[in-house]
Chain A
Amino acid sequence: MSAAGTDHLPPASPEGQHGNAYEALNEGDDPRWAYGTGFADPLAGVDTAVPEGVDAAELAAYCLMLGDDALIMSHRLQEWCARAPELEEEVALANIALDLLGQARLLLARAGAVDGSGRDEDTLAFQRDPGEFRNVRLAEVPNGDFAHTTARLLVFATWRLALLDRLAASRDPVLAAVAAKGVKEVAYHRDYAAGWVVRLGDGTAYSRERMAEGLAAVWPLVPELFTPHPAERRLARAGVAADPAAAREEFDATLAQVLTAATLPHPAAPRRDDAPGGGAPGLDGPSTPSPDLRKPSAPGPGSQEGALGRDGAHTPALDGLLAELQSVARAHPGARW
């Protein structure tokens, strides 16, 4: 996904020839393309003052939530690199992952700048333990087949689009700017995923079955998306955050539109061939769910009762994901190349 192609080489230096392309890339004052060496602050020059009356620690926590959602989802999409069923889909998933990584960089940088810790985006991405991540669990569960990925992406992007669209009016100018940009990007992600859900759902009997299974697999993770963390509620009241609970109606309407076009049953609807307890878990239909159904179906070991990803309670899958994501940075702290 790097753009470090040969057409990016700076003009030949008057000081002499470069031994290789990497030296040429490192010419000048800003070495780049490598972890921890030259990625300038993505918020360079942006006015990052905290709006009056807003709790800086809470704002930082909120930026982490939205940033971690994007970072972890991006990683799962990146895992398709060199494994996607078609080159076009590989390019699409990598592009979507790149957009989300860009959003994550801005949001993590914002979090580190306002929480007073001085941690930069790299420190936050590479030096935190699983319990310190604030992403929803939908983003972290392992990849299944391509249908599972499109189901997850449809749910994630539809939800995130509804949040970012509201967040574009945030009193926090950085969140508002990141969100306004993100709306354009995530709308493309949602439409891409929706197109595949329709194609597979309204395709062959086999593709339809796989698509229905993908949706059924991610559906138990939906209620968590609309369960606001207390910090989200407080910041929403202060005009800074988007209350996810308020985005449910838009989410349901979009999902219904896609499922209708895909001729698929709603994943919460009971299926005739379901064995008791198997298939689509009957959680959270299109009508308003009762509060006790808003808990995740399978809390990870060691998590507190009722605690969610926003509280730092995750499934074991996040451990493995972070082990891979953080391995180079942790093995070689401050490494340069």
Chain B
Amino acid sequence: MRRRASAWEVAREVPDPELPMLTLGDLGILRHVEETVTGGVIVAITPTYSGCPALEAIRDDVGTALRAAGYADVEVRTLLSPPWTTDWIGETGRRKLAEAGIAPPGAAPARAAGPVPLTLGPPRRRLRCPRCGSDATEELSRFGSTACKSLWRCGDCREPFEHVKEI
């Protein structure tokens, strides 16, 4: 039991390559860590986006960290279902994002029955500027420097900032 908890601890603390202020545990993409009967470790990771180019780096980093911690036989698996949602980013992760100047996600949109509703125009909700706290912010672009972020601007301090968009 002690060894298995330790493997979880090691994998959980690996930083995300694209949001290095967050660990894989903060991000919620680490789904299972399991010790096999032969003493190996099987880690299951859920990708944030289908094309997330960081997934290979994450796979490598988890393997490297676990081997450095004494686990010789590490297998990292992809777990596609259920799909990742920003709701899996915990309170610690949200606090770290805000401290790094990135507006954390709100609650992921709830899905009613029927077709996915069309959203025209900017989102109704305004974000709080992570630098000055102003609510006078506007979305610049729904896409940002990584798949998981959008670009915003604060009307008061005039600084641009990023936002982990709800998914």
Interface residues of A (CB under 8 A from B): 1-4, 7-8, 10-11, 28-30, 32-33, 38-40, 42-46, 88-89, 91-92, 94-96, 98-103, 105-106, 161-162, 165, 173-174, 176-178, 180-185, 187-188, 190-192, 194-195, 198, 250, 253-254, 257-258, 261
Contacts and interface: CB of A to CB of B under 8 A. Distances in A.
B151 A88 contact: yes
Given A1-B53, A28-B63, A102-B50, A258 B77 contact: no
Given A32-B57, A95-B147, A191 B120 contact: yes
| Residue of B63, B64, B116, B151 with most partner-chain A CB within 10 A | B116
Given A3-B17, A184-B83, A191-B119, A32 B76 contact: no
Interface stretch (B4-12, B89-97, B99-107, B137-145): B137-145
Q: Most chain-A CB neighbours within 10 Å: which of B61, B78, B140, B165? A: B78
B83 A38 contact: no
A178 B51 CA distance: 11
B70 interface: no
Given A7-B20, A177-B81, A45 B53 contact: no
A102 B51 contact: yes
Main secondary structure of the interface of B (DSSP, over half): loop
Nearest to A32: B56
Nearest to B52: A102
A100 B49 CA distance: 10
Q: Which 9 pairs of residues, A with B, have the shortest CB-CB distance? A: A45-B77, A102-B51, A102-B50, A177-B80, A177-B81, A92-B143, A88-B141, A3-B53, A95-B143
Nearest to A261: B120
A191 B143 contact: no
A302 B147 CA distance: 40
A150 B157 CA distance: 33
Nearest to A251: B115
A73 B56 CA distance: 23
A183 B117 CA distance: 12
B116 A187 contact: yes
Interface of B: 17-18, 20, 42, 44, 47, 49-57, 59-61, 63-64, 75-84, 115-116, 118-121, 140-147, 151, 165, 167
Contacts of B79: 45-46
Given A7-B20, A187-B116, A44 B50 contact: no
A242 to B, nearest CB: 13
Contacts of A106: 50, 80
Contacts of B53: 1-4, 98
A99 B51 contact: yes
A304 B47 CA distance: 41
B50 A198 contact: no
A194 B116 CA distance: 14
A96 B146 contact: no
Contact of A43 (B17, B78, B82, B120): B78
B145 A162 contact: no
A102 B52 CA distance: 7
A28 to B, nearest CB: 6
B133 to A, nearest CB: 25
Nearest to A2: B53
5 contacts: A46-B78, A92-B142, A174-B80, A181-B80, A183-B116
Nearest to B108: A184
A258 B118 contact: yes
B18 A3 contact: yes
A258 B18 contact: no
Contacts of B64: 10-11, 28
Contacts of B167: 184
A33 B55 CA distance: 11
Contact of B83 (A180, A188, A191): A180
B59 A30 contact: yes
A320 B136 CA distance: 48
Contacts of B60: 10, 28-30, 32
Contacts of A101: 51
Q: Which interface residue of B64, B81, B140, B143 has the most chain A CB atoms within 10 A?
A: B143
A42 B76 CA distance: 11
B77 A44 contact: yes
A269 B85 CA distance: 41
